[in-house]
């Protein structure tokens, strides 16, 4: 929000302009550990294990501590990604959430295509699956990193980057792993 104040005699006129925020931070997270306890469920329907439920909360608390709360979330519509976010959302407020099958086991190009038109915020979060998360992280920062369940990459756009979409235009600031928190 940009505030411009004009003073005319005794009256003060305040004009407010909503300035479109520029994407500068990206949170990339693989869903938390899921359960294989129910063999009749499809892969898409599998819930989280107890370990995954705990990891979701650990990551959420760490993101808040580091002041990395997203403005917008793009997530797979699988049961385990929804449950991961449900547990995290208790600590993060006012996040615009978009669930879509398009983020279920997606490749980097498909992820890019599905978020491009909706980037009117400073910090976005993508919650998905592997190998898509590891591949997308490599696309963004130019380095491959292992992304176990609930791994969360914190990225910032490189200075002087003309486009956030170009491979290698992001810096990996930190890779959060629940077992290390």
**pLDDT tens digits for range 152-161:** 999 998 876 6
CA distances to 87, 99, 146 from 78, rounded to whole Å, are 15, 9, 21
Task: Classify residue 155: in a domain, yes or no.
Answer: yes
Confidence of residue 146 (pLDDT cuts 50, 70, 90): very high
Within a domain: 49: yes
Q: Is residue 130 part of a domain?
A: yes
Structural domains of the chain, count:
1
- Maximum alpha-carbon separation in the chain: 75
Question: Which range of residues forms the domain containing residue 56?
Answer: 21-180
- Indicate whether 6 belongs to any domain: no
Selected residue with higher pLDDT from 47 and 117: 47
More confident residue, 12 or 130: 130
| Domain contains 35 | yes
Which of 96-105, 114-123, 127-136, 152-161 has maximum average pLDDT? 127-136
Instruction: Specify the pLDDT at position 2.
Output: 43
Residue 127 lies inside a defined structural domain of this protein:
yes
Global pTM reads: 0.85
Indicate which CATH number applies to the domain containing 106. 3.40.50.1240
Residue 10 in domain:
no
């Amino acid at each position: 929000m940009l505030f411009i104040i004009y003073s005319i005699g005794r009256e003060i006129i305040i004009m407010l302009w909503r300035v479109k925020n520029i994407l500068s931070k990206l949170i990339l997270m693989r869903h938390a550990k899921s359960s294989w306890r129910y063999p009749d469920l499809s892969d898409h329907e599998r819930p989280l294990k107890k370990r995954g439920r705990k990891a979701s909360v650990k990551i959420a608390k760490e993101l808040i501590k580091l002041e990395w709360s997203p403005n917008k979330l793009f997530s797979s519509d699988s049961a385990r990604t929804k449950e991961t976010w449900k547990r995290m959302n208790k600590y993060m407020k006012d996040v615009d959430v978009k669930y879509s099958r398009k983020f279920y086991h997606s490749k980097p190009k498909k992820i890019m295509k599905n978020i491009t038109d909706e980037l009117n915020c400073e910090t976005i979060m993508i919650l998905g699956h592997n190998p898509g998360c590891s591949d997308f992280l490599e696309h963004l920062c130019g380095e491959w990193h292992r992304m176990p369940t609930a791994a969360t990459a914190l990225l910032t756009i490189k200075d002087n980057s003309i486009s956030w979409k170009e491979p290698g235009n992001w810096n990996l600031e930190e890779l959060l792993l629940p077992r290390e928190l």
